[in-house]
Amino acid sequence: MKTNRRDLLKAAAAAGALGAVWPLVGDLSPAQAVEAAGLLGAEYDPAPFTLGVASGDPTPTGFVLWTRLAPEPLAAEQALPEVVEVKWVVAEDRDLRRVVARGTAPASATLGHSVHVSVDGLRDGRQYWYAFSALGRRSRLGRTRTAPAGPVSRVRFASANCQAFHGGYYAAHRGIAREDIDFVVHLGDYIYEGGPVSGPRGNGTAVDFTLGDYRRRHALYKGDRSLREAHAAHPWFLTWDDHEVVDNYSGTGGGAPFMQRRAAAYQAWYENMPHRDDSETALPDPEIHRVRRWGDLLELTVLDLRSYRSAQNLPDGTILGARQKDWLKRGVDRAPDSWHCWVNSIMLNQLRGRPGGDFMFTDQWDGFLAEREEVLTHVHRSGLEDLVVITGDWHSAFVGDVRTDFDEPSSPVVGTEFTAHSISSNAYSPAWNAANGPRMGAANPHLQYFEGNRYGYDLYEVTPERWTTSMRVVQDLQDPVSPVTTLTAFHVDRGKAGAYEDPATKNSPAQYRRG
């Protein structure tokens, strides 16, 4: 087994030698930084495609293909020509013989020598393979698919969130890469802007401001082989949370230095993600919120809960922003007869800290009470059924009823929220979870389940009759090839709001279960 990443960093910090082992600290050259990253288990694909390949945002006729040329992955800028022509190919077979599309795209220094190819004109519901070539080299092979159109009998997908590199290995992404699924949804905190010594909520010590800083951090994270494997295996839908920029930020607050930092962070995110931007220009503000459909079975609504929010705890505060809120409500009004999944980076459900207490984590929707009530009341009045919300951020697993009024236990249940374990970001301690799980359950009657001692991802299987969420957890966060098992599973029946635990797994460990 490789070096224990988290313990090595803690020991180095305690000895005052963090600069010798943390690749993003100190005055290390790009080669020295790669060597330091190697001590933490990082390794890269052959140059210039060191960061791998990826696909995203599948539609019935196509998808986006991504790669980034980075011969020196941990350099802020690459020693490459201003523009490099990159060839790409899409085929119906893994040997790339039955070619259905090919072309050439420019990789410019302006966008970190990244490539975003929007492929269109393909057949719906089909699997494809793809690869890039440039500078006399070919990338690894990627696999992707188009979304289906028309009747669909099943969709399987996974969600991931909160993957602090310093927290441990990405065995969960290794599991995702090997799952038989149609796509992956990333719920945010793909990177952490802080340093390697972090508290339970992921607050770091280092400060990054420049585009180069964020580029290097994205490249460090993609040094984990399992993350590159998960990208190459499936198409991804993406949203973001706060740590892609800075902890607990509001996208509309702050002066010029913060706005410059946000622009740098957003650009680096775009440069390193298989994201299709529907606006006229992806920068300086990539457009994240979108609706995508998987045939007639699933409507996926991706939310951006950072870019347009106001400060917290204001009577007229907004987490969505006026335009996104109107867009969401219009979508509810004209939603098709299908399952509806909101991709939500921070908890929608109310979460009081103790019975009768006023304390709530107001960086979540709890900091925007009036808008939450407005949106959920609109869902109820519209008659929308079969709403499931999938959420990250908390580094723990929750299952809860979504109600129009969380302080009124008799208010209508309009959906279910599944909050997933983190990939690797530090959770609260087992002692904290044991003490506070029952307190949160008593203080929040809509809460069904809480488990905070594990790491992993959620796997969803959706049919016309039932939604199933399986909590997939790794055995050992410090083992890069740790086995993955199912901790428990919950079901939601079509036409009936509210989830119930699978009888076969309801005796699994948890710090709280309702009833």
Q: What SS3 class is residue 301?
A: strand
How far, in Å, CA of 45 to CA of 227, rounded?
A: 12
How far, in Å, CA of 132 to CA of 333, rounded?
A: 42
Residue 199 CA, chain-centre distance (Å), reads 20
Tokens of 279: 């606006």
**Cβ proximity of 403 and 444 under 8 Å:** no
Helix residue ranges per DSSP H, 3-64:
5-14, 18-21, 30-39
How far, in Å, CA of 451 to CA of 435, rounded?
A: 12
The β-bridge partners of 415 are 402
- Per the listing, tokens 């999944």 go with 341
Residue 477 CA, chain-centre distance (Å), reads 18
Tokens of 305: 């809960």
pLDDT tens across the length of the chain (515 residues):
456 787 888 888 788 777 778 999 878 999 999 999 999 999 999 999 999 999 999 999 999 999 999 999 999 999 999 999 999 999 999 999 999 999 999 999 999 999 999 999 999 999 999 999 999 999 999 999 999 999 999 999 999 999 999 999 999 999 999 999 999 999 999 999 986 643 322 333 444 589 999 999 999 999 999 999 999 999 999 999 999 999 999 988 888 999 999 999 999 999 999 999 877 667 778 999 999 999 999 999 999 999 999 999 999 999 999 999 999 999 999 999 999 999 999 999 999 987 777 789 999 999 999 999 999 999 999 999 999 999 999 999 999 999 999 999 999 999 999 999 999 999 999 999 999 999 999 999 999 999 999 999 999 999 999 999 999 999 999 999 999 999 999 999 999 999 999 999 999 999 999 98
* 334 Cβ contact partners less than 8 Å away, ≥ 6 residues apart: none
Q: What SS3 class is residue 53?
A: strand
Give the length of the chain.
515
Architecture in CATH for domain 53-145: Sandwich (2.60)
Q: What SS3 class is residue 212?
A: helix
Name the CATH topology of 155-513: Purple Acid Phosphatase; chain A, domain 2 (3.60.21)
- Amino acid, res. 405: D
**Cβ proximity of 76 and 213 under 8 Å:** yes
- Range(s) of the chain covered by CATH 3.60.21.70: 155-513
Q: In what order do the strands lie in the sheet with 339-344?
A: 290-294, 298-302, 339-344, 387-391, 413-419, 397-403, 447-451, 512-513
- Range(s) of the chain covered by CATH 2.60.40.380: 53-145
Strands 183-186 and 235-238: parallel
- Per the listing, tokens 């009888």 go with 503
Q: Phi-psi region for residue 83, left (φ > 0), alpha (ψ -120 to 50) or beta?
A: beta
